[in-house]
Structure 1
Amino acid sequence: MHWPLPAEVVAAHLPAGLEPDLWEDQAWVSITPFLVERFRLPPLPPLPRLSRFPETNLRTYVRGPGGVDGLWFFSLEADSATTVVGAWAGTGVPYRWSAMGVEAGETITYTARRRPPHGPHGHRIVVRPGTPLLPGEISERDHFLTGRWRAYTTVAGVLAVIPVEHQPWPLQEAELVDLDEDLFTAAGLPSPSGPPLVGYSTGVDARLGPARPLRHLDR
């Protein structure tokens, strides 16, 4: 789900060195719920009870030094304490340990409620997946919102970049059946107004690299 917001509103919540990446003169903020499967930390294999969990991110689209595009995460909900602690410590990305669920049928329901000390924010999202989009039906805006190959973060106050590798998302039409969320306000953003752009994907394999401070990237 994707909403446009004024660029100056989003810019006020970005660290030095980043600016909103605009589409049609507006910044965009997205809520992206999904189910992580076969999660592992190389060189380990996927571990039972630790490799499958729901996650939801609240993100925007930015440009960093040199105009290089990427993502900025306002928050990431995850139903895995190990992931939350490890990712927060290793990358500075703002994970929140949450009680979460995914129920799939004709519709798909994603629920989340943050555990202390970050609670009780969360969401209930119900979507109905529709017809798969052919490659020629995927718009430039779709690519803008889904084709990002790095995420920015801060580590000890220093802007850093995390490489993101995945195939292009296979996209489907989707209908938003129900939405109840306060992730925007928890991040200090205004609640979105108007209907969002909605899409669905069956998923891709993804790989995230370690966070590297930008001052080290040219070495």
Structure 2
Amino acid sequence: MGRDSKMKRDLWDESHRPWPLPDIPWTMRQTWSNLLFAHYPIQYEELRKVVPKALDLNTYDGMCWIGVVPFQMSGVRLRGLPPLPGTSAFPELNIRTYVTVDGKPGVYFFSLDAANHLAVIGARTLYRLPYWFADMKIRDRGNMIEFNSRRRSNRDIRFACTYQPASKPFRPDSGSFEEWIVERYCFYTLNASGVPFRCDILHEPWTLQQAEVDFMHNTMLSEQGIVLESEEPILHFAKQIEVRAWPLVDPVTNQIRI
């Protein structure tokens, strides 16, 4: 086997996933770069107020957790198609927490802000995700990342910070908090009737670093009615990861949902 073939095989190895992928083709490929994971503790009772009842909340050390995740999206394309001009690279900002449906742990998004209008429309249509169009910039200053976002529909929803890695890269230990927050291979969304859908994803196991952050603005949580237990986040950085996404499926039958 040639070197390129071996690299491709290793990149999309699914043996580390906790359950098999659906027996259907993947639909989208993308690259995530310069990610900050800022995680805030929140009481179960407070989180239960703002997460749909169809999703079981996950806890770690007795607490639920909210993640604020800014990053750069690139290489976005549908299977079998080249990247659409002007839609393949843009900054994004996700607000997320951790849930389970039918025994499969995943991510639930409160919001996803992006700087690309077509990408926002596409993700809302294909994946029923709460995407919002925002004025957003990300700059790589060598070891320092500058990120600034302000939602178009509500200018009070703002986020601005600088962040950088602050340790050597490491793979999270089994059972650790770091593994718990990042090693999740699906996200959940709901239709208008409150019925959950699952989107499976595939990527290599995460490589993280500790992070340092200087926050200038962050109303992403307070403006969405999220009441935290502490304003002090746990911080991690990830340089880059390649991702494939599958169509939305029924969480129990694995059948495609329309």
Deviation for aligned residue 1:107: 1.8
1:87, 1:137 → 2: CA distance? 33
> Which gives a bigger RCO, structure 1 or 2 (Cα 8 Å, sep 6+)?
2
What letter corresponds to residue 149 of structure 1 in structure 2?
Answer: Y
1:12, 1:189 → 2: CA distance? 9
2:172, 2:121 → 1: CA distance? 41
Task: Normalising by structure 2, report the TM-score.
Answer: 0.78
CA deviation string 1:19-70 (max 9, x = no partner): 2100001000000110011111222112332100000100001112x33211
- Runs of 4+ displaced beyond 4 Å: 136-139
Aligned to 2:4: none
Q: CA RMSD in A?
A: 2.0
Aligned to 1:131: 167
Give 1:72's match in structure 2, choosing from 103, 108, 128. Answer: 108
Indicate if the aligned counterparts of 2:172 and 2:208 stay in contact, CA closer than 8 A.
Answer: no
Give 2:157's match in structure 1, choosing from 91, 116, 121. Answer: 121
Aligned to 2:76: 39
Aligned to 1:196: 233
Matches within 5 A, 1:20-59: 20-59=57-96
In the alignment, structure 2 segments of 5+ residues that lack a partner are: 1-37
Deviation for aligned residue 1:137: 6.5
Give 1:90's match in structure 2, choosing from 126, 133, 142. Answer: 126
Task: Flag the structure with larger Rg.
Answer: 2
2:155, 2:231 → 1: CA distance? 26
SS at match of 2:247: coil
In the alignment, structure 1 segments of 5+ residues that lack a partner are: none
Aligned to 2:3: none
Distance change >3 Å, CA 198–CA 156, structure 1 → 2: same
1:192, 1:100 → 2: CA distance? 28
Alignment of 1:16 onto 2:57: no
Distance change >3 Å, CA 119–CA 215, structure 1 → 2: farther
**Residues matched between the structures, number:** 217
What letter corresponds to residue 171 of structure 2 in structure 1?
Answer: P
Aligned to 2:249: 212
1:159, 1:194 → 2: CA distance? 30
